[in-house]
Chains A and B, each alone.
Chain A
């Protein structure tokens, strides 16, 4: 049984031998080993290792120490470090362990080349621990009876080795269990500590290379206590509105240690702590009254404690508790100001009283209401008016005058002292001088020089200037002894209008205003420039001012930049008040690009480009060319006309030969038909009813009966025949415009007229038409009043055709004719039909002209032009023997001239032969 177990054991041993990875216990027995085994080495020290070969191997494979090679990891150690001690031992020496690494192996070169590992060791390199330094301890109070002591130290350099720190402490004859840090190497907490006994505390650091001990710290733990802060802090308001009482509970009994305290407090919303003087709280206590607080203010309190003798540590601050002091009456009246609106009528004011709510520390409570008292200073008899207001403004309707307004704020405790505002009838007193502003960070400082007289206070009004909305006035009151204040809440890049009023005891000074920016920026846009007028060498540019919002600062100047496409830019600086500028010395007919820059103190911005082209010609240049040309042309034309006129006869001969007037022949024919009833009578009586017809007849006869050619007569004859049936004939000779009138007159005269009359009328009108070849009918018609006398005269002329009358006689006829014109003896006829009258007038002139045409073509040629006619007539008249002046324009209108005219004509016609040439 035993032997069997033995065998089994042996077999097991065998298996173990085979399987064991251990080099020394392998199946193939290790041929050697290294001394020392797994050393821990100090960094930087030297180290020597020995490789010892087994004797058995020497025999087995001819292995000797001289064949040993050393390797660190896979790196060969230089042979110089080897030393063969004897046949079986080789050593290697390292002067500095820092060159070592794991593993260090001992190998052998078997058979010269085959490298075989003999043994290997693990090398650990590190440092011995340093002496821990700066050991300090603090006792924390965790609960009423629970204290722990935490000690910290500086563990020193890293050792690269597993180093154990332990905090040790002891009494002279008692050693307490060590405190071993967990997870850290620089602090440890002792949970059970004893006070009032000096305890020696030190730290020990240990690792494979050594042990180090800190300097001991001897301390009574009571001297390093950091107590818990006082708890259950409660605050109660005292009797006075400036006092609050604090009560608290201490965690530490006086038997253990007495405490002193620190109490700090601040107003809610404020961040600055105030502290109760430490000497007031340097003794043990559980309550304290904090004095000198503001009424009706919420305070936050916090408290801490430490050992009374000041040895140890302050506790943390206790949790913060708040308490409110009780109300007190307001300490001052609210600042008050007014805005007077006189827009309705200057005599009646709408006074907006405005005041600022008291600051909490002034109000000392909740302001329940304000009491406004208005006293009329100008009339003592008027009653004092009182108003109770809950808001911070009040509007009054007052007659212009001097008023004293006083304002009282009231809370639950009492009333404030009154603030008084005097509203004088006029702001006649001296204003402040030298008003100026200066930006200071986020505030705008407003400064002024005080007037000479004593100023109670100043009111500073300011408002944001805006182009779109009204200035909303903000205001502030400054005491009379200051000469500058900081305005808060001023926005940068905005224009503010600031006005300062000094208030005197007996009145108020007029306001001085200044515009200011807290901070300026460059304008937010540039001005848009455009041309108003463009000339050849100049252009008038206009632009609009930037709005206040766009300016972002005071516009110091405008800059106009203009250039041609390829030219250099020209810069012109313009005063900021201008909105127009004339660019001069431009090149004509050139494209210019102009833009405009507005500049503030802090920069500038350019507006959009505007392009324009200068004109090719300057103003008046075209006119200077065109006008002379036109004048010259006109002159030429005039000269041409004059020339043509002068050479009219010649031209007429060539172009427009005179066609013999057929009417003349007609006259010859039809005038005898009509009996010259009045002829005889008129001869006897100063030609009362003398007519042109008479004249013409006389003329014709007088001139020469022989001169009446058949050609002349024929047309008359023809007319006579065809008159009533057709006007076509006459139209062929004369203007059609004349034709309508005779026809009308024909139809008109048909009514209630004898056929003879009718026929005679028709005949007459025909005569007129013929005579009108060259003349407008209107004037011709204007003269005649009756057809009848004309016919009569014609008849008469027929009668007298046989006998030659003297020229004097003819003159008389003419005169008679004019007389007839004036006297209107033939009125019935005239009244009967106007058309006829016109026709007669036409006839008259027609006749006259007929006569004249015979003498000179001039008057006829100019036709109706008065001046020319006049000239012509005057020409004729100059030749007149009588030398009488004639006003041709009055022909037919002025009886006198009409009287004269024939006179003047007659000699001419006679002399020149009248119709003779024709």
Chain B
């Protein structure tokens, strides 16, 4: 009987030792989806926060009337180049996750291009540095969204992958209009980030890490 109990004990020990090995590997891999959604959400929030201060600084740099709180110019036709987030909210919510993610991905890719142009024109080093940093972060967001999409099994939208070429042709005929472009760029960015944060928050709730794990695990086996 002693031998038996020893045998059971050894078996239990072995089982305990082996227990973490396989599932752990699986988990760490699949936990990535939920984690990347959370991370993307955090990044969106962070960019939102960054942009709030950056926009203030930049609008001050542009000078009045752009830095006036109630400055609300009409959206010019030429500003249409910048992807607009002014889609009806219900319509937007009606989209699939994939579509929304893809729209985000595309929008930020385009916005990033404009932003990089903006970066090259800024006079002060401090602002340039902050803009550069913001650009890098935004680039990270694009990557993150891509990561989320891939982790959820969605294909990346075709289009300008990587830094698309800046829209050719002299964009602004005069300085004021150029400033207006910049203004709208920042404004659109804010809107997009605000909406993205909501999207990812919803997605985060929709795909809790544990569920994701289980599903993926089931699929994997």
Binding site for B on A (CB under 8 A): 145, 171-174, 192, 194-198, 220, 222, 253, 255-256
How near does chain B come to A220, taking the closest CB pair, in angstroms? 6
* A783 and B130 alpha carbons, distance in the complex (Å): 159
- Given contacts A195-B43, A220-B39, whether A145 and B130 have CB atoms under 8 Å apart is yes
| CB-based contact B46/A198 at 8 Å | no
Would B143 and A256 count as touching, CB distance under 8 A? no
> B residues 1-54 with Cβ under 8 Å of A?
36, 39-40, 42-43, 45-46, 48-50, 53
Q: Min CB distance, A844 to chain B, in Å? A: 153
Write 11 A-B pairs (CB below 8 A) sorted by A numbering.
A171-B140, A174-B143, A192-B132, A192-B133, A195-B42, A196-B39, A197-B137, A197-B140, A198-B147, A253-B49, A255-B49
Contacts of A192 in B (CB 8 A): 132-133, 136
Neighbouring A residues of B43 by C-beta, 8 Å? 195-197
Chain A proximity of B41: nearest CB distance (Å): 9
Note all chain A residues with C-beta closer than 8 A to B141. Answer: 197
How many positions in chain B have a CB within 8 Å of any CB in the partner chain?
Answer: 24
- Residue B104, interface by CB 8 Å: no
A84 to B25, CA, bound (A): 61
Docked Cα-Cα span, A145 to B50, in Å, equals 9
CB distance from A568 to the nearest CB of B (A): 79
Please pick, from B45, B48, B137, the residue contacting A194 in the complex, using a CB distance under 8 A. Answer: B137
Question: Would you call B196 an interface residue if the criterion is a C-beta within 8 Å of the partner chain's C-beta atoms?
Answer: no
Q: Is the CB of B144 within 8 A of A196?
A: yes
Bound-state CA distance A16–B137 (Å) is: 60
Q: Which of A145, A172, A194, A256 interacts with B136 by CB under 8 Å?
A: A194
Q: Could you say which residues of chain B place their CB within 8 Å of the CB of A220?
A: 39
18 extra interface residue pairs, beta carbon distance < 8 Å, beyond A172-B147, A194-B137, A197-B141 = A145-B53, A145-B133, A171-B139, A174-B139, A192-B133, A195-B43, A196-B40, A196-B42, A196-B43, A197-B140, A198-B39, A220-B39, A253-B49, A255-B46, A255-B48, A255-B49, A256-B46, A256-B49
Q: Is the CB of B137 within 8 A of A195?
A: yes
| Any A CB within 8 A of the CB of B167 | no
- In the complex, B166 has a CB within 8 A of chain A: no
CA distance A16 to B162 in the complex (A): 56
B46 A197 Cβ-Cβ under 8 A: no
Contact B133 A197 (CB under 8 A): no
Instruction: Kindly list chain A residues whose C-beta atoms are within 8 Å of the C-beta of B49.
Output: 253, 255-256
Return chain A residues, CB-CB under 8 Å to B132: 192
How far, in whole Å, are A174 and B138 apart by their CA atoms in the complex? 12
B-side contacts of A196, CB under 8 Å: 39-40, 42-43, 46, 137, 140, 144
Residue of A nearest to B161 (CB): A173
Assembly CA distance A192 to B133 (angstroms)? 7
A253–B49 Cα gap in the complex (Å)? Answer: 8
Query: How far, in whole Å, are A174 and B139 apart by their CA atoms in the complex?
Result: 9
Q: Would you call A195 and B139 a contact (CB within 8 A)?
A: no
Contacts of B50 in A (CB 8 A): 145
In chain B, what residue has the closest Cβ to A198?
B39
Give Cα A190–Cα B141 distance, bound, in whole angstroms. Answer: 20
Q: Which residues of B have CB within 8 Å of A197?
A: 39, 43, 137, 140-141, 143-144
* Cβ A222 vs Cβ B42 within 8 A: yes
Give Cα A198–Cα B141 distance, bound, in whole angstroms: 11
* Closest residue of A by beta carbon distance from B140: A197
Q: Which of A173, A174, A255 contacts B45 (CB 8 A)?
A: A255
Docked Cα-Cα span, A145 to B146, in Å, equals 26
Tell me the bound Cα distance from A195 to B47 in angstroms. 10
Residues on A with beta carbons closer than 8 Å to the beta carbon of B139: 171, 174, 194
Instruction: Indicate the member of B50, B140, B162 with the most A CB atoms within 10 Å.
Output: B140
Least CB distance, A120 to chain B, in whole angstroms: 53
**CB nearest neighbor in A for B162:** A173
Judge whether A171 and B42 touch: CB under 8 Å.
no
Give CA–CA (A822, B141) in the complex, Å: 171
A195 touches B46 (CB 8 A): yes
**A173 contacts B143, CB within 8 Å?**
yes
Distance between Cα atoms of A172 and B143 in the complex (Å): 8
| A197, B139: Cα distance in complex, Å | 10
Pairs A-B, 5 closest by C-beta atoms:
A255-B49, A196-B43, A197-B140, A194-B140, A196-B42
Q: What residue of chain A has the Cβ atom nearest to residue B38's Cβ?
A: A196
Cβ contacts under 8 Å, A255 to chain B: 45-46, 48-49
User: Cβ of A256: which chain B residues have Cβ within 8 Å of it?
Assistant: 46, 49
Question: Quick one: closest A residue to B150, CB to CB?
Answer: A172
Give Cα A195 to B133, complex, Å. Answer: 10
Instruction: Name B144's closest neighbour in chain A (CB-CB).
Output: A197
Would you give the 0/1 interface string for B55-86, flagging 1 where the beta carbon is closer than 8 Å to chain A? 00000000000000000000000000000000
Instruction: Chain B residues near A172: list those with CB within 8 A.
Output: 143, 146-147
The complex places the Cα of A189 from the Cα of B72 at a distance, in Å, of: 43
**Assembly CA distance A192 to B128 (angstroms):** 13
Q: With the chains together, A256 CA to B50 CA distance in Å?
A: 9
Residues of B within 8 A of A174 (CB): 139, 143
Closest to B143 in A: A171
For chain B residues 93-152, which have a beta carbon within 8 Å of chain A?
130, 132-133, 136-137, 139-141, 143-144, 146-147
Give the chain B neighbours of A253 by CB distance below 8 A.
49
C-alpha gap A192/B36 in the complex (Å): 22
**Residues in chain A near residue B53, CB distance under 8 A:** 145
Chain B proximity of A175: nearest CB distance (Å): 12
- Chain A residue contacts of B147, Cβ below 8 A: 172, 198
- Per-residue CB contact flags for chain B residues 171-202 toward chain A (1 = under 8 Å, else 0) read 00000000000000000000000000000000
Q: Which of chain B's residues has its CB closest to A255's CB?
A: B49
Residue of A174, A194, A196, A222 most packed against chain B (CB within 10 A): A196
Q: Which residues of B contact A195 (CB under 8 A)?
A: 42-43, 46, 137, 140
Distance, CA A196 to CA B144, complexed state (A): 8
A189 CB, min distance to chain B CBs, angstroms = 16
Residues in A neighbouring B45, C-beta threshold 8 A: 255
Distance of A198 Cα from B35 Cα, bound (Å): 10
B62 to chain A, nearest CB (A): 20
